[in-house]
Chain A
């Protein structure tokens, strides 16, 4: 797959002296869904805003579909749709009008049929003549998505798309994103909800303190970084770990009813076989055994902690 966005040595220092981005290097593949994870103030929005032309980079180079975002801004911007984090809308405009306005702004000729279909896809068609100020927060979010898609962009940026959004809309949004992906649109979304990234992303990037800490295929990431936990439930509770087992990295929980063992799936030896043998010899009686894969959240928390 070819790269549709390429970011080289991107730095951004605001006039206040705040270093928002520190030497970011990132290639985004055409047609993928990339989730940028990071805590508040990590630099996610600055990164997106720079690609879209809302923030001037301090140094570095960004190309979109081979075009430089500064020299060839018309080419790059016409390919991009942006759904901002804030619900910024012109309160007195009507739904259909505001989508048509956006389409024109990006240089496309009016196309009533396309806008109407878009409104139907976003379940906004029956609201098309309503003023934006009369819409609920969720509806406004849909309008913003509609505006971003009004000029048929090939790349869609969603900045915190599900912040303050109810479950139903969130599901609808995933459906829309899925449909867009099938039509070949590249989607980049920022979030601090890890489940979101886990659910829909192909790749995950983690940003913290203005640095891109990692960028990985989601499944590789979970496999590579994934620690597993072996949880052994005992028939009778014990007050301390038997001496014969103290050499293993075990912890006791639930009033001595659970023994848990952390192991790394990346390691050549997980240590499970010898541990089981040792448990067998220790005369502990087992009730149940289960294993648990660590979630993206655990991975994320570990990474951010390490970098801090």
Chain B
């Protein structure tokens, strides 16, 4: 195992975060605060509570997930896309590094960064609403699993994209709608029966539901189902990455 290499890739990626601290941390905090002001306070004060949870608190898990998903994808995809774009990837590809070590460095750093942002957003939300966390261990586990799976997904997008437009395409056109329609701001059983069924095909529903359960003990789908879906998504991403490395997809001719 080339520990030194994993360390330098990880540190290099984390350093990028500190160098762009405003963009990396301040902007998600700001946008989340805006959500709280608009949805939590302005609109939320006129909403009735959902399953006994005040609306302002109810949206916290969804908001954390929203940011976590977009940040994980953005960090990881950019982290691998940029060296590809600038050509510096040659060095990583010619180094005595296994595929797993490359992943550990890049995806590890992207996931860490998202995890930190997730924590900051939770702390920020504490200023706006009362937070209770019924199952903290599960909460942290869901957080970590989501950070890792979606950083992996971002890594795949970064490998696949061969221009900046493609890099933005999936987060914008796929992830944002899935998150908004995944029950971030409402409970699935508030939907008409037909749309309740449709929504079950949205993987983000399971993520948000499980995560919300760890806070309030209420969920749209069973917790076991949520966990299984995250693990399934993780496994699919790992399989795709493994295939990409094996075939040298857009990395090696």
- Which A residues form the contact surface with B (CB < 8 A)? 14-15, 52-56, 73-78, 80, 82, 84, 86, 88-93, 100-109, 147
Contacts and interface: CB of A to CB of B under 8 A. Distances in A.
Given A73-B96, A84-B90, 15 more contacts: A54-B93, A54-B94, A55-B252, A56-B253, A76-B96, A82-B90, A82-B91, A88-B87, A88-B88, A89-B86, A90-B88, A91-B86, A101-B8, A105-B9, A108-B4
Nearest to A157: B94
B75 to A, nearest CB: 16
A53 B93 contact: yes
A101 B16 CA distance: 13
A147 to B, nearest CB: 7
Given A89-B88, A92-B19, A77 B94 contact: yes
Contacts of B8: 100-101, 103-105
B96 A107 contact: yes
Interface in B77-119: 82-83, 86-88, 90-97
- Contact count band on B: 20 to 34
Contacts of A105: 4-5, 8-9, 91-92, 95, 97
8 contacts: A53-B94, A73-B96, A88-B86, A88-B88, A89-B86, A100-B8, A104-B4, A105-B4
Contacts of A56: 248, 252-253
Contacts of A92: 16, 19
B95 A77 contact: yes
Interface string B50-74: 0000000000000000000000000
B2 A54 contact: no
Contact of B252 (A54, A82, A91, A103): A54
B7 interface: yes
Interface in B1-43: 2, 4-5, 7-9, 12, 16, 19
B96 A78 contact: yes
Contacts of B97: 105
A76 B94 CA distance: 10
A148 to B, nearest CB: 9
A73 B12 CA distance: 24
Contacts of A108: 4
B199 to A, nearest CB: 42
Contacts of B92: 105
Contacts of B4: 103-105, 107-109
Nearest to A107: B2
A18 B82 CA distance: 28
A41 B185 CA distance: 58
A108 to B, nearest CB: 6
A159 to B, nearest CB: 10
Contacts of B95: 77, 105-107
A72 to B, nearest CB: 10
Contacts of A76: 96
A74 B2 contact: yes
Contacts of B88: 88-90
A103 B8 CA distance: 9
A103 B86 CA distance: 20
Interface string B134-149: 0000000000000000
A9 to B, nearest CB: 20
B36 to A, nearest CB: 33
A101 B12 contact: yes
B95 to A, nearest CB: 4
A105 B8 CA distance: 7
Nearest to B3: A107
Closest 9 CB pairs of A and B: A88-B87, A104-B8, A74-B96, A77-B96, A105-B95, A52-B94, A104-B4, A78-B96, A107-B2
A72 B90 CA distance: 19
A104 B82 CA distance: 20
A9 B248 CA distance: 22
> Quick one: which of B7, B82, B91 has the most chain A CB within 10 A?
B91
Nearest to A147: B91
> Quick one: which of A15, A100, A104 has the most chain B CB within 10 A?
A104
Contacts of B83: 90
A157 B88 CA distance: 16
A44 to B, nearest CB: 15
Contact of B91 (A55, A73, A91, A102): A102
A104 B105 CA distance: 12
A75 B88 CA distance: 22
A75 B91 CA distance: 16
Nearest to B87: A88
Contact of A107 (B5, B91, B93, B94): B5
B102 to A, nearest CB: 10
Nearest to B20: A92
Contacts of B94: 52-54, 77, 80, 82
A135 to B, nearest CB: 15
A90 B88 CA distance: 6
